[in-house]
Amino acid sequence: MTTKNILLCVTGSIAVYKAADLANRLVKEGYNVETIMSHSAREFVAPLTFQTLTGNKVHTQMFDLFDPDHQVEHISLARKADVCIVAPATANIIGKIAAGIADDMVSTVIMALDHAPVYICPAMNTKMYENPIVQRNIKSLWAMGYRFIEPKESRLACGDIGRGAMADVNVIVNAVITYLQSVDKNGK
C-alpha cells in the first residue's frame, strides 16, 4: 500500500494550536502530511511547529523563487493530495472557497484540487458561525460536495459560550482515516 498524502490547510484562528496536534496524530498514523499555512495562521503558530511535526517544509508563499524540483508548487501539491483538511477553517477561507477566490497559497491549492475530497473544520466565534452569510457559504459548499466537520459548543477563546469551537481532533482524525481506508478497500 502506498503512503497516502494529506494536505492540511491551516488558517487564522486561535485553534491553530489544535491543528498542530492533528498533524502530529496523522503522521503517527503513518500518513504523509503537507501543511499550508495562511498569513494569519502564521501569526498564531510558527511554521516550524508543523515542519518539525510533519518532517516536511511548510508551504506559505505563492511566489517562491527557489524550487529545487522545478514544479509549479500549488499544482503539484493539489495533484498529490489524497485528501485535504482545512483546520481550523476561518469564516474568511470558507467565504473565499465559496466565492471561488484564489488569492493566497491555501485558497489557490484548494481551487486546484482534482480528486481529493475537502474536509472543512470551521472554528470561529458563535456569532460569526451563525452569521447568515457564513451559513449560506457552508450550505452552498456542502451542496457542491465539500464535507464539513461541525464545530462544537464550548466556552470559546473570546469568553463567549456557544457553537464555534473546532471539532475535537479525534473526530477529525477518525473521519479522515475512515475515508482513506474506504478508498484503500475499493482499490483506488
Of residues 5, 35, 38, 126, which one binds ligand FMN by CB under 6 A? Answer: 38
Closest CA to 6 of 188, 186, 179: 179
Question: Which of 7-15, 77-85, 145-153, 169-177 is the region at the interface with ligand FMN (rule: CB under 6 A)?
Answer: 7-15
H-helix or E-strand containing 44?
Answer: helix 41-44
Q: Does residue 5 bind ligand FMN (CB under 6 A)? A: no
Q: Does residue 92 bind ligand FMN (CB under 6 A)? A: yes
Joined together, the cell numbers standing for residue 2 give 502506498
Which of 9, 84, 121, 158 is catalytic? The answer is 158
The residue type of 156 is: L
Q: Which is nearer to ligand FMN, 31 or 44 (CB)?
A: 44
| 158 belongs to the catalytic site | yes
159 and 152 in contact (C-beta within 8 Å)? no
Q: Shortest approach of ligand FMN to residue 132 CB, angstroms?
A: 15
User: Cα(134)–Cα(77) distance, rounded to whole angstroms?
Assistant: 27
Q: Does residue 137 bind ligand FMN (CB under 6 A)? A: no
| Cα–Cα separations (whole angstroms), residue 173 to 62, 135, 170 | 28, 24, 5
Q: Shortest approach of ligand FMN to residue 124 CB, angstroms?
A: 3
- Which residues carry out catalysis? 158
